[in-house]
Structure 1
Amino acid sequence: MNGLTKRSVAILIFSTFLFTYGWSQQKNRPVEGAYFFKNWWAPNFVGVPVDLDNSDYEYSAVSPTGDTIVMKNVNIRKMYTDEDILIFPDRKFHYKNAGLFEHTYTFGAEHFSWDFKYIRSFEFPLEVGIGAGVQTNTLSFPTGSGYFWANVLSLPTYIQASYKFLGNRNKVYLKGAVGLANNVSTWQIPEVSNHLFARAGLGVLFSSRNRFKHFFEIGQSYSGASGEAQSWDDNVTGNVRFSNVQFYRFTFTYGFQFGK
C-alpha cells in the first residue's frame, strides 16, 4: 500500500468516526431556555428560571430533573443565558456568541506548526477569526552520499473560518484558513521567497464544564518556497538553489479554545 493510499484510508476512517460520533450525540439535546449559574460556594447549576426579578436575595430555577432550587444572589459568581452559550443538563456547554482564543499544535510528515488565533463566534455555528504561528517544512536534496535536509521556517498569518454541522454535545466541524506563509531566512536557508499559505481540516470540538474546549482534527496544509539552501554535505560545493517547491502536508492537530 503506497503512501497516498494509506493517507486516503486514514482520512476515510477518521471521517467515518467523526460522522458516527457526531450523529450519536444528537440525543444529547441542549436545555431550552436554560441559564447556567456559576456559584462561589456551591456546584455550578443548570436550570430554567422561574423567578428572575433581579432580587437582591435569591433566584429560583427548575433543574432538568424537575427540582426547584433557590440560590442566593450573593453566591452567584456569573450567569449565562441560552443566548450566550449552548447548555446541556450535565453543566457542559459550548459558546454561541463570544470572543475565543485558540491555541493549536499541528504535526505532519516533515511539518510542524504552533499557532495562536482569536476567533469570534458571530452566530453559532459559524466562527471567523485571525491567526498567526510558527511553522517548519523540511526540504531534502540528493547528494552523492544520500541526502541533506534543510528546514524552511515560516511565520504564517491568515484568516480562518469554521462551521459546526453535526452533533450537539460534541461538535463536528469543517475549518479553513488562507493567508501568507511569511517565509524567514535562516542559516540553513539564507535566501527564501514568500508564498501563499492555506489549510483545511475536519475535526471534533468537545463540550466541557469550564472555559477550555479541546478539539482534534485532521487536515491538509499547503505552502511553498523558492530560494537557496546552505549545504552541510561534503559532497556538495556551495549553496543549492530550489524553485517553487510546494509543501502539501497531511496533518493532525490538537488544540483548545479559551472563552470569556
Structure 2
Amino acid sequence: MFNSILLTDCYRSPDPVTGTRNYTYMDAVKSNLGTLQYKLCGIAQYGVLTGITIGYTTTTAISMAAIKKSNCFHKHGHKADCRVHNNTFMVIFAIIQIILSQVPNFHKLSPLSVIAAIMSFTYSSIGIGLSIAKISGEGIGKTTLTGKQLSKDFTSMEKMWTTFSALGDVAFAYSFCFILIEIQDTLKSSLPENKQMKKATATGILASTVFYMLCGMLGYAAFGNDAPGNFLTGFGFYDPFWLIDIANICIVVHLLGAYQVK
C-alpha cells in the first residue's frame, strides 16, 4: 500500500498534479532518481515481471490440469490414478498468449478489468464457501502454532521451502504495483490522476486482502496442518466436482488476461 501511494505521486514530476507525465515506471524512475537508479530499477522490474509471468504460466497450467483431474476423480473415484502432466497445458497457454498478443492494444481493453474482478471474486468465493461447508460438517482441522510438524516425511528443508513459497504467493497476489504507473496512464486527467489512483489502489488492496485472508484462514481452519498449497488445485475438495471446475476455469480466464496486461 505504502509503495503504491508513493508511485501514484510519481506519475507526474516534479509536481504530482501539474508536472510532466511519466508514461511508464521506468520514466518515473529516471525523472525522480536519475540515470544510475534507472538502470538498476529496470533490471529489477523486468526480473520481477519475468518471474510473475512464469508464475502465471505454471498456475494456469495447474488449474487446467486440475479440471481434467477433477473430472477423472468424479468418473473413477477419489483413489484413482489421475496424474496429469502440466507441460501440455503450459504449451496450450503459450499458444493462446501468442494469439492474444496479436490483438491490437489488448492490454488496454477496459472490460478486462471488469472480467478479472468477476473471475477473482468468483473463485475466491467458491473457496471460501467450500471451506465454510467443510468446517460446518467436519469441524476445524488439527492446527499448531508453528504449522506442520517435522518428521521423516517432512524435513526442515521442505518446511523452509514451503515457508518461502507462501511468502512468494503473497508477493504474487500484489504484483500490480510494478505496472501501477502504466495503469495510471490510462486514467483521464479531468481529476488529478494521483488522487483517483490512490482511491482505486486502496479499494483494490482492501478488497483483495479481505478475500485472500478469508481464503487463507478458513482454508487452514478447514484442513489444519494438512492444508494443500491451493485447495482448489491440490484437491482438498473433490466434490462438487463441477464447482471446482468452475473455480479453476475462473482462474484460467483471469490469468490469461492478466498475462497480457503484464
- TM-score per shorter chain, which class? under 0.3
Which is richer in helix? 2
Larger radius of gyration: 1
- Taking structure 1 as the reference length, the TM-score comes to 0.24
- Relative contact order, higher structure (CA 8 A, sep 6+): 2
